[in-house]
Structure formats: C-alpha cells, structure tokens
Amino acid sequence: MRDIRIHEVGLRDGLQMESEPVPTVTKEQWAAMLIDSGLDILQLGSFVNPAKVPQMADTDELFDYFKSNKKDRKTLLSCLVLNEKGLERAIKSDADMICMGVSASETHSKKNTGMSTEEALKRIIKMAIEVPNLGKPVQVSVQSAFGCGFEGEIPEEKVINIVSRYSDAGILNISLADTAGHAHPEQVKRLFSSILEINDKIKLACHFHNTYGLGITNVYTAIEYGATFIETAFGGLGGCPFTKLSAGNVCTEDFVHSLQRNNNRKDINLEKIIAVSKYASGFFVKELPGLVYKTGGLKY
C-alpha cells in the first residue's frame, strides 16, 4: 500500500461537467493547494476543443502559470489529449505527463472523439509511442472498460484486446477507466488479473466513478490485483459529458483518509485537500459528493 500513487483528476474530470465557469485564477489557487498537499500527480486539464468542453479552454494558460516552479515541484502535472492537435499543445505547454485513451464502447468513442474504437486506437498508439522520445511519461487508458451507459455490457475480451495492442506496442502504463461507473469488484478482479497475465511489467492504473456506490470498493479491489496508480477527484466531482449518466469520481480526500487510517500515505496533507473541496463547494454553492470534507477525518 505504501507504493500507491494518487493521480488527482478533479481539475479536468471534476470540472468538465460543471456548467458554472471556474475562473483561471481560482483554478490556479486550487491547483497550488493540491500540489502543496503532496499528491503525486495532478491533472491540470485537457487539450481539447474548448467549444465542446468550455471548462478546459484555459489549460494552456494553467500549464504556463506553473512552469515557474517546475524545478522545485515534486508533483507531476499531467494532461489529457485525444488527438494529434491536443498532443502538439501538450508538448508546447511542457506537460510533465501525457495521458490519452480509447473507449471500448463504440458509441462512447464516437460521441467523445468522433472516431470508432479501432480508428482511435490506431491513432492513439501512434501518438503514444512518440511521447517517450520527448522524455515524458505517457499513460494510455481503456475508457468504458467496465460498461457503457449507451451499450450496457462491454465484452471483457474487447478490453483485453485493446490492452494487448498497447502492450505489443511497448506502451506499459495503462489505466482502466470506469467511465459510466458500472464496475463491480468481481469484474475488476477478472480484468486486472487478465492484464497482468498479458504482461507482468504493465503498470496498472484505475479510474472509477461512483455512479452506483461501488467506487472506493472497486479501487481497493484493483489495488489487490495490481493497480498502483489511483485516479481520484477532490470532493468526488466529475463525470464525462459524453456518457448517458454521468457521476462523480472516487473522492480524493475520502480515499486518502482511508489510506491514512491504515497508516499509509501519511506524507499527504489531508487537510489541504479538504480545504480545496470546501472552497469548491462554496464556489459552486452546492454540496459535493465527497464525505470527509464535511465530516473531517478521524484523528486516531
């Protein structure tokens, strides 16, 4: 458990569903607080078409703002890209880590990228194998890996085939994303176990949404079966705008609190993450899905 790394995605996945625009200066403040908390990776945003996802229109500006403290900063700043234009912007912005992915759902893939799964996979693999040559880590994902709001069940062999294609291309940082929140623990166990049978050198990440209340349970199951990078969002914010029923991510402070109850990741400052969630709750004038920011953490 001490090897668990937390990838905070609230500024990207957390905000993309919010209709209230968040000023760039406010995002800068939230990001600085999350960096100060000691989280391992922070996803500042996505390099996508701002007409489709307006909250991401200032991603370039955010990366530019944090360039000045790059040498002193321990937290890696990641981004999401969907195509070659997004990758060019990510490289220009000098993102520390570049994430990209393919949906196992044909319907979700077309709504999200305008491409079929196969079309997107070929492009993503071609892009992903270029990134390490730039001296940057790359993470690829399989989105809608556990089910789709439009199509329902996604064949597990389709997910495994995508992972195999990544592995064959030498891309070994791989995340399974539960975009629609359909995952259940036994399914998580089967998929993660199968992936390590493909290649035991794969570094596994997981990204669960809490649509049906199983998010943190699925995280712990994924950890048991090899996942070491856990993607979460402060306050439990989040949801893909191109799914049928969007719901928040596993909440960062709830997960960190659970780790610290077992004397793990005590190096992370829980109170600073809670402060961001309280700030965001006040900004959006609503209660967020997370729990610990409301209750406070247990002290024993």
Known catalytic residues? 240
Chain center to CA of 217: 17
- Token pair belonging to 154: 């996604």
Angstrom distance (rounded) from CA 292 to CA 108: 32
Q: How many CA atoms lie within 13 A of 269 on its CB side?
A: 11
Place of tokens 């393919």: 102
For 229, phi then psi, to 5°, come to -110, 120
Extract the tokens encoding 177: 């994303």
Phi-psi region of 174 (alpha: psi -120 to 50; beta: other; left: phi over 0): beta
Whether the CB-CB separation of 92 and 73 falls below 8 Å is answered with no
- Quick one: residue 192, left, alpha or beta (phi over 0 = left, psi -120 to 50 = alpha)? alpha
